[in-house]
């Protein structure tokens, strides 16, 4: 199994605040890997560092054998890495169709219409809302749109930052079902999620962050069964 992403000893600061403290982890092809932890543990900061939006003072981020340390954030997506950011960040004034078109903006050639149909297969609701202004969609539909837009770039690694945030339980179930379907289709996914139960239930492997450090790791099943994890994150 080839390594898609390797993060080695990154240290990230916000001014004098040491937010990420020597984190190392990797994601292999075809895996779902999740980073779980309490709010403020450093999960989103880690994703933003991988994406090039933040820079580490040490170590390296290697994606498909290329060091991303000097690659500008707007170029990272052209390498095959797509981030679905926390809070969705869709283009509110554009239609669903236009948002999806923007996802394919970096592509040169390829059958974009075919991929559009693939996105509509995963998210039938988006097809129904194709010509609707994105800002008028429900929270769940906006999350689906953000994921669909990322898929339109044909990513080698899909990064999801808190996809369940602010959604009703029934919609959380739907989103995680879609994540599992993407996994079955061979997508490689790095998932950041406060809902540890849902994340570990779909993940091949997981890493637990506390105050900017990885404190434990294991398979999704191992972490779900761990008494310490149950007590800290699963209300058990």
Give the end-to-end CA distance of the chain in Å, rounded to a whole number.
34
Task: Quickly count: other Cβ atoms within 10 Å of residue 184's Cβ.
Answer: 9
Token output for 152: 């339109």
Q: What's phi and psi for 75, nearest 5 deg? A: -95, -20
CA 88, distance to chain mean position in Å, is 11
* CA 66 – CA 24 distance, rounded (Å): 16
pTM over the 0.75 mark = yes
Mean pLDDT of 65-81: 88
- Please say if the pLDDT value at position 18 is more than 70: yes
In terms of DSSP bridges, do strands 189-193 and 32-36 run parallel, antiparallel, or are they unpaired? parallel
What percent of the chain stands above pLDDT 70? 97
pLDDT single digits (tens) 126-171: 999 999 999 898 888 898 899 999 999 889 999 999 998 888 888 8
Average pLDDT, the chain: 90
Q: Scan for tokens 């953000």, then name that residue.
A: 146
Mean pLDDT of 102-123: 82
The residues facing 191 across adjacent strands are: 34, 160
- Around 18, how many Cα atoms within 13 Å sit in the side-chain half-sphere? 10
- Please say if the pLDDT value at position 108 is more than 70: no
- Please say if the pLDDT value at position 77 is more than 90: no
Token output for 199: 């994340």
- Please say if the pLDDT value at position 236 is more than 60: no
Task: Give residues with Cβ within 8 angstroms of 197, minimum separation 6.
Answer: 224, 233, 234
Q: What angle do CA 94, 161, 205 make, to 5 degrees?
A: 145
Q: How many angstroms separate the Cα of 197 from the Cα of each of 35, 144, 153, 183, 226?
A: 12, 21, 29, 18, 12
Q: What is the pLDDT of residue 20?
A: 96
Q: What is the pLDDT of residue 232?
A: 82
Asked if 118 and 157 touch (Cβ cutoff 8 Å), the reply is: no
pLDDT single digits (tens) 161-196: 999 888 888 888 888 999 999 999 999 999 999 889
Where is average pLDDT lowest: 8-12, 143-147, 188-192, 228-232?
Answer: 228-232
């Amino acid at each position: 199994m080839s390594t898609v992403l390797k993060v080695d000893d990154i240290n990230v600061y916000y001014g004098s605040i040491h937010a990420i403290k020597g984190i190392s982890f990797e994601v292999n092809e075809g895996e779902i890997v999740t980073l779980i932890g309490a709010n403020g543990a450093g999960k989103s900061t880690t994703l933003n560092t991988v994406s090039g939006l933040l820079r580490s003072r040490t170590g390296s981020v290697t994606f498909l054998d290329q060091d991303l340390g000097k690659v500008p954030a707007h170029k990272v997506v052209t390498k095959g890495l797509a981030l679905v950011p926390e809070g969705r960040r869709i283009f509110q004034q554009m239609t669903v169709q236009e948002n999806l078109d923007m996802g394919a903006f970096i592509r040169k050639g390829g059958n974009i219409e075919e991929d559009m149909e693939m996105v509509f297969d995963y998210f039938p609701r988006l097809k129904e809302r194709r010509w609707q202004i994105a800002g008028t969609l429900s929270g769940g539909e906006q999350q689906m749109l953000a994921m669909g837009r990322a898929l339109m770039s044909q990513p080698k690694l899909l990064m999801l930052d808190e996809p369940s945030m602010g959604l009703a339980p029934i919609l959380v179930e739907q989103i995680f079902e879609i994540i599992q379907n993407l996994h079955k289709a061979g997508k490689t996914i790095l998932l950041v999620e406060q809902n540890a139960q849902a994340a570990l239930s779909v993940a091949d492997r997981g890493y637990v962050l506390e105050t900017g450090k990885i404190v434990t790791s294991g398979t999704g099943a191992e972490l779900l069964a761990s008494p310490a994890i149950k007590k800290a994150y699963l209300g058990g």
